[in-house]
A and B are shown apart, each in its own frame.
Chain A
Amino acid sequence: MSSIKMRATLGDNGVTTVKILISHPMDTGLEKDKKTGNLIPAHFIQEVVCEHNGASVLTAEWGPAISKNPYLSFRFKGAKAGDAIKVNWVDNQGNSDSDETTIQ
């Protein structure tokens, strides 16, 4: 199951709106495990890259202060319905995931 849920819709004005939800703990490294009392190590997404037809439309650099299960929305011009939108994220522990959708 992908960690990414995304949707890209083309509006009447020729602007595509992309909405992305990622399942990720986004641990800051400052919080304690309630059972053991130990610090939960920092675990957060550092970079999200969004591509349209192979060209980058958005590169997000994140710190741990992005909320758990991050939400991201942005808009861009020049796309057609049916074009592919690809998203890839990488976190500070070296995990990553990607997903692709077509513009509706």
Chain B
Amino acid sequence: MTSMKRRIFLKGSLATGAIGMAVSAGLITPRMALAAWPKAAFDATSVDSAVSNLFGSSTLAGSDKIKIKAPDIAENGAVVPISIETDIKGVESISIIAEKNATPLTSSFVLGKDTEAFIATRIKMGKTGSVIAVVKAGGKLYSTGKEVKVTIGGCGG
């Protein structure tokens, strides 16, 4: 059963190669797909300015309803697995901030109406510091943080 699923999975990956080719041939313009990427927020060099550029407000309410799953010690800062989950109702977006990175905002996820308030990904961390989750729900911003010790930084240089 497992191996059959794997077959289907591989077949699916191959079929979409055609779309990739259409893109490289210039049939589909990549820029069309890109909505407003929040450049100012990603370029911001402090947590405060990243949050205010992203949301237009930097007022964060601490919340114990947000759970961050991250390692206590990350041996390799280039790959730090993070997952964020919350019981807060009506979540519109989840953003992940690495406090001590040169540009702290790592990512922001806008959820659809049927999407659960859960995100898992892997981020780079330059040095030891907090990972901060910012959850937007009902027009308000909630946040919580978790300290991650980084043994080897993951932002080059």
B52 at the A/B interface (Cβ < 8 Å)? Answer: no
Q: A5-B13, A72-B120 in contact; A90/B30 too (CB < 8 A)?
A: yes
> Interface size (B, Cβ < 8 Å)?
53
User: Are the CB atoms of B122 and A66 closer together than 8 Å?
Assistant: yes
B5 at the A/B interface (Cβ < 8 Å)? Answer: yes
Contact of B35 among A59, A68, A74 (CB under 8 A): A59
User: Are the CB atoms of A30 and B156 closer together than 8 Å?
Assistant: yes
- Contacts of B108 on A, CB cut-off 8 Å? 60-61
Main secondary structure, interface of A, reads strand
Q: Contact size class for A?
A: 35 or more
User: Are the CB atoms of A66 and B106 closer together than 8 Å?
Assistant: yes
User: Are the CB atoms of B13 and A15 closer together than 8 Å?
Assistant: no
Q: Which of B60-68, B110-118, B134-142, B143-151 contacts A (4 or more CB under 8 A)?
A: B110-118
Number of A-B contacts (CB under 8 A): 159
B42 at the A/B interface (Cβ < 8 Å)? Answer: yes
Contact of A2 among B20, B79, B110, B121 (CB under 8 A): B20
Cα A59 to Cα B37 in complex, Å, equals: 11
User: Are the CB atoms of A77 and B114 closer together than 8 Å?
Assistant: yes
Cα A46 to Cα B118 in complex, Å, equals: 20
User: Are the CB atoms of B80 and A67 closer together than 8 Å?
Assistant: yes
Chain A contact residues, CB within 8 Å of chain B: 1-5, 7, 15, 28, 30-32, 46-47, 49, 52, 55-68, 70-78, 88, 90, 94-102, 104
**8 A-B pairs with least C-beta separation:** A31-B156, A96-B30, A65-B106, A67-B122, A57-B112, A73-B120, A63-B42, A30-B156
